[in-house]
A and B are shown apart, each in its own frame.
Chain A
Amino acid sequence: MADLGQLETRPTARAKPQPVRVSLARSALNALAVPVLALFSALVLSAFFILGSDPVVLTAYSHFFSAPGAALAISWKAVTDAYTALFIGSLGNPAQMADAVRVWITTGESKAMLTAFWPITESLVTSTPYIFAGLAVALGFKCGLFNIGAEGQIFIGAIVAAWVGYTFTGLPWIIHMPMTFLAGALGGAVWGGVPGWLKARTGAHEVINTMMLNYVAFRLSDYLLNGPMKRGGAAGYIPISRDIEPSAYFPKFFPDPIRLHMGFIVALGVAVLVWWFLWKTTWGFEIRTVGANPRAARYAGISVTRNFVLAMALSGALAAMAGAGEVMGVNHNLASAFSPGYGFDSIALALMGGSHPAGVVLAALLFGTLRNGATKMQSLAGIPIDIISIVQAFVIMFVAAPAIIRWIYRLKAEGGVEAIFTRGWGG
């Protein structure tokens, strides 16, 4: 055993903790890796469902042992056909698009352009409500709240926007359009704020209350469309409202058939606004703190209950913007079942986007593209539209369980290494 005096003089090569530089680009790539690989894996898995739903493929497999090559070839063709149709249906045919651009440049004739670029603009149209509703759910998540009432809030937004849109006539668009949109948002704020208030006041869980308010919103819209808001009065023919005034339209950017409207730009703007609100304002700091650690929020003098109400109201307003946007930019009226479940998909979408506005926008673009392409896939390749629901489901499952993706693709987990970057002090 060495004696102590000797030990003390032993030099200690203490490495000062080194700052670890991770470039922004690399961290962004890292953040994208899981969702992108999740999408890829989901497409691969869904291919099996495509095969299973195709009678030609199934017949080929009954002769698998006599002609295995044929069965595999037919399978390959079925899957590539389906995904090609999905791609062309959602983004357009690249050759056709190139041709159209050439025609436009040489002759100035833009008609071919409209046709060629129609699919991709349709995807953006479908993405628009997804962006709003995804932001709504993401903002709730940031405050630790699970707003599964986005669908109902979308309906309320659409109802209010439609009513304001056709009731007020003779207003200039510069007043009528924002008024319609904001009125819809306000309706959603109330619809979302109520469960927030109930939670703050009584502790009632927002999941239950937002879910129940969904049903109330659906039935309210049914009632209104079969009564007070019905086109042509109570004797009208179909459950659809009057058309809103053109002064309340979201203007379109291109001639028919392209439906891309200002709502898309508004959605992107709102996404930036949500980001700024959450990360650059004291209100956002409070909401995020409550979501990340409510006890620490209380310790810091932040009112947890006030932020519950605020976050739910804002979440409701954002979701309602999706409904108002559809009325003002696409349908120009309120019809029953105008939403194919944007509000429910948006929960998955917010998860996939990591509850960050930028992630939500990307995920919304993906969902809009898939939904839009699915229609084409059905008509061109005869693949049921439901396959897209399966793709979406797999994407969500993989995103929700990133460990699976990391395992399949041997990705290194982030964070695990960082845990030991800093060490004890005083030495």
Chain B
Amino acid sequence: MSAILELKGITKRFPGVLANDHIDLTLQAGEIHALLGENGAGKTTLMNILYGLYHPDEGQILVRGQQVRMESPSDAIRLGIGMVHQHFMLIPPFTVTENVMLGDETLRNGVFLDRETVAARIREISEQYGLQVDPHAYIRDLSVGVQQRVEILKILYRKADILILDEPTAVLTPEEVDDLFQVIRGLVARGVSVIFISHKLKEVMAIADRITVLRDGRVVGTTKPAETSVAALARMMVGREVILTVDKKPATPGEPVLQVSHLQVLDDRKQLAVNDVSFQVHAGEILGIAGVQGNGQTELVEALTGLRPIAGGKTFILGKETTHATPREILQRGVAHVPEDRQRDGLVLKYPVADNLILNTYYLSPFASNAQIHERAVLASAEELVERFDIRTPSVRTLTSNLSGGNQQKVIVAREFARPIKLLIASQPTRGLDVGSIEYIHQQLVNKRDQGVAVLLVSPELDEILSLSDRIAVMYRGRIMDILPADQVTVERLGLLMAGVQAS
């Protein structure tokens, strides 16, 4: 094996932050090298350096033994380095062929796009690497998993043989992750070398040949899956012992807090997204709603929180009907809502942290009286919440957009958990967060349950559902397949229900 790519002593400083501190990394030809680290550990900075977007302050980059200097991504591509970003760079109304040739167009007679030649080449690459991509399909018609393969195809088409995948599984369903891993193994078998960036321990253990762990801009160490364990990796990544399983006592359920009967909700296209759903959530228990994303969970949560009209059926909170209540009326019944998409729904990113901490309580005492906002009370409460929920921010006046994803989520958690609540509806509360943040938020959810709050947890992550829930409901195509006590289910049983297979 020979090194195809070497980073030596790469250092990158930003004002106030040492993002990369003398990083050494060697990518062998034909290996899958995982780069593991929490958000903010310096992974993305390092990859941006490797992709020509940043210049290192110190250090060398060697490609195939030659020292190189990259001024832009086009230099990187010329050197055979391609990157698949977490957010795809595809144009939905264009075909696969058009997207692949974009920026590197093949012309016929010097004027016309030569789609046929490119399509033929795409078909060839697709077959060679087992990508199964139809060159004439429109991007908008493709599933996320296939779109990702188009991104990979774009890179292979440009004859790159060093592939950087930035958090590639963040947007995929479990089956799509399996498919992706198969594709990656196929690529490596044909001589491509892969850098796999992730903060998900199990995935890294499953796919990587070698794992390099970054923390605080430094390489903590390099290891192999066979020589380490998930727990050891977590410890390296976080820098302390991490409790991966949630420690919780058996639930002591009380009165029903949320009652849902025969609920029907339409989605944006006026199709029935929630179909005749009934369940109850009791005080002091966590009801987990499992299911592959897009099976009506989003619409269900929006309906329960008053953000989406209810087409049929009824909802009750603490015995009072809330079927047609406004979001504010529901909030005032003691409901907290951690929304699925925190940046879109839960925060105003250009507000200071302090303002986001009162986003839905700004009109209540002590923050306001007679329509006047009392800035001192707002700031004092913000200071206290930042302290209590350990929100890492330079100040409560810092714009929320400048916080990391985990800290943004903590702002929402602080706001929703700090007031007296009876019902907590948490939708994907740990989406995109790192291990430390996930651990923290899970603990907070269990604490709320132990305080007698009814918790409805919606998550496509089976691990999360299994480790937190007292009862588990599985949603499939808008219906609840079954509701089971958590201690009586197996992963296999859940998997079948999530796929729509009813137990015999």
Contact = CB atoms under 8 A, between A and B. Distances in A.
Interface residues of B, number: 70
A18 B223 contact: no
A253 interface: no
A285 B394 contact: no
A423 B326 CA distance: 37
A235 interface: no
A175 interface: no
Interface stretch (B74-82, B161-169, B214-222): B214-222
Contacts of B110: none
B483 to A, nearest CB: 27
Contacts of A20: 16, 394
Nearest to B438: A426
A296 B439 contact: no
Given A4-B228, A8-B235, A301-B331, A425 B392 contact: yes
Given A289-B348, A295-B345, A422-B404, A17 B235 contact: no
A299 B368 contact: no
Interface stretch (B1-9, B33-41, B125-133, B255-263): B33-41
B221 A7 contact: yes
A299 B371 contact: no
Contacts of B435: 426
B373 interface: yes
A12 interface: yes
A417 interface: yes
Contacts of B393: 17, 422
Interface stretch (A84-92, A126-134, A276-284, A379-387): A276-284
A10 B372 contact: no
A110 to B, nearest CB: 44
B236 interface: yes
A165 to B, nearest CB: 32
Contacts, number: 156
Given A1-B222, A281-B371, A420-B17, A298 B327 contact: yes
Interface size class of A (residues with CB under 8 A): 35 or more
B40 A423 contact: yes
Contacts of A421: 16-17, 394, 398, 402
B221 A424 contact: no
Interface in A324-381: none
Interface in B339-368: 339, 344-351, 355, 359-360, 362-363, 368
Given A301-B326, A424-B404, 8 more contacts: A1-B221, A4-B232, A13-B216, A298-B307, A300-B360, A421-B16, A422-B402, A425-B437
29 contacts: A2-B221, A4-B228, A4-B232, A7-B221, A7-B236, A8-B235, A14-B239, A15-B17, A15-B18, A17-B16, A20-B16, A280-B372, A280-B373, A282-B371, A289-B351, A289-B359, A298-B327, A299-B337, A299-B339, A301-B327, A301-B360, A422-B407, A423-B39, A423-B40, A423-B404, A424-B38, A424-B40, A424-B434, A425-B436
